[in-house]
Amino acid sequence: MDDQNKKNGFDDFFQNREDGQQKQEDNVQPVQADEASADSSEQASKPSYYYSYGPFKSGAPDNNVLTDGSGAGNQPISTPAQASSQEPAAASQPYSQQQGDQASFADSMPPAPVRPFSSSQSSARGGWQVKEPQRRTSFKAMFSSFIAGVLVVGSLMYAADVNNWFSKPAEATVSQQGTATATGQNSGLTAASDRPDDIAKLFETSSPAVVKIETFASPARSNGGSSADSFFEQFFGQDYPGAGSKEQNNNSNGLQATGSGTGFFFDASGYILTNQHVVGGAEKIEVTVQGYDKPLTAQLLGSDYNLDLAVLKVTDTKAFPTLKLGSSDSIKIGDWVAAIGNPYGFDHTITVGVLSAKERPISIPDEQGTRNYEHLLQTDASINPGNSGGPLLNVNGEVIGINTAVSSQAQGIGFAIPTSTIQGVLENLKNNVEVPKDPVPFIGAELADVTDAMAKQLGMDKAEGSIVSNVYYNSPAYLGDLKQFDVIIGIDGKVYNNTQDLIAAIKKRAVGDGVQLNIIRKGAKMDLTVTIGDRNKFNAEK
């Protein structure tokens, strides 16, 4: 339809008014006139169908608005750019008619949902999808890729294994352990190692070398009491192995069982190491070895009462399994240890714990004297009656000690003789040679603290020093003319107010040294010269 047919009187009015305003603006603002002229030329160049009525079209310009029927306000609707291929609707009617028609149309029907449109290349394919044929990968290419991947992964794994990419080198580990130890010493904290997970393998390899030891003695001798009775009663209570069952366990020779313990082979030819208190006073010793139907009779080769060590020997045609003696000096407090033994007759029992302490001294009196243990290892691995003489192992299966004692009044406090003590005397015990004893300095006198009552009777101003209650015949004190009721107040001019400090000072002297004893005799002070003697030699000469 021709746009000229739609003209009316209002168009000439608005046109003339616009021309007058344009002329006035030309004289005042030239710049704005140029802009208006550009707009007029653009208006003239636009086709008559540039404006559209009704709901939003995808090709409508950005400045189209929809208003409600009252014309209270306009709500701008922004649209995407017009596609070049889309043909817009004709709009040759005047603006007022367009506004009225548009408002009435907006009242009659709601706006249609906006359909997104884009002039980009990707949107051109939005409604039209061209299915392209998929290219198939050939088997040769897939196989080649697989082989290449295998070669790359294999090369990386080999390089990681050779260069230790994912594991720390041994030197670095040792260095870090040393650093951690130093740090722990400085801060007062130590890091415990992880609990070993190969205890089963440790037991499997070590258990065959561990034996059960049973001792027998005649009834008359047993009824009189074994020399180890008081030892076991103090550390194991009244129910130590053999207690209360001596008369019921008689063998064919009229001997009865006196006790049981543990030992282990340290030599394949049949040498067994155990505690002296396990075999002390026994007339017959039987050893039960794993894999043998009957117990083997053992011979006692050598023993030492003070060290509480003994070596037995059994004979057979084949070699026996053995345990290696390790170093007790290299193990650290907190390291894992394991004990294997026969507690209460339960053969080959293993218990696990840690090394609690080192260099522990304990003293255990019995009928033969007092055992003074030194340098013992302390562990919380369970040790019970029957474990005595058994091995205390490190995580490598090496013997670091011999389980010896445990306090019956506590839990988790066991003691073992370290291998540092054993290795120095092992050959002597094998060959039944007396083990050389370290010299023990002494003067040969029994001493006690001076009380206030004693000081008053002795005419002393105050209670000080140590009173001599007895002097052994032919002892260094006897030869130095020390007498009963003398009071020793010092050595070489140094005062010692109690007996404990005085004895400690004497033990620090070397055997053969001459000392001046400062004493008080019958209220008068005097000095005596005494030569320090060796207790071991003195006892041997008695």
* Residues with catalytic function: 277, 308, 388
Element (H, E) at 133: none
Q: Count H helices, E strands: the chain?
A: 16, 22
> DSSP code of 63?
T
Q: How far apart are CA 75 and CA 103, in angstroms?
A: 12
Q: How far apart are CA 326 and CA 402, in angstroms?
A: 12
Q: Which ranges constitute the DSSP H helices of 71-113?
A: 95-108
What are the angstrom distances between the C-alpha of 215 and each of 144, 223, 235, 313, 333?
Answer: 77, 15, 19, 14, 35
Q: How far apart are CA 79 and CA 86, in angstroms?
A: 14
Q: How far apart are CA 541 and CA 130, in angstroms?
A: 118
Q: How far apart are CA 488 and CA 469, in angstroms?
A: 11
Closest CA to 535 of 488, 489, 475: 475
- Using the CB atoms, write b or e for 527-537: b if 16+ within 10 Å: ebebebbbbbe
- Residue 455 in 3-state DSSP? helix
**Amino acid at residue number 274:** T
Cβ distance 340 to 349 under 8 Å? Answer: yes
Q: How far apart are CA 161 and CA 149, in angstroms?
A: 18
Q: How far apart are CA 373 and CA 227, in angstroms?
A: 17
What is the distance of C-alpha 2 from the center of its chain?
Answer: 98
Listing DSSP states for 399-440 in one string gives EEEEEEEE-TTSSS-EEEEEHHHHTTTHHHHHTT-PPP----
Closest CA to 403 of 260, 230, 263, 229: 263
Residue in the structure block whose two tokens are 């009462």: 305
- Residue 348 in 3-state DSSP? coil
Closest CA to 266 of 330, 199, 313: 313
Closest CA to 352 of 176, 198, 245, 228: 198
Where does 60-105 show beta strands of DSSP type E? 65-67, 74-76
Residue in the structure block whose two tokens are 């004990």: 339
Closest CA to 379 of 399, 405, 361, 350: 405
Cβ distance 421 to 294 under 8 Å? Answer: no
Work out whether strand 74-76 and strand 65-67 pair parallel, antiparallel, or are unpaired.
Answer: antiparallel
Work out whether strand 487-491 and strand 74-76 pair parallel, antiparallel, or are unpaired.
Answer: unpaired
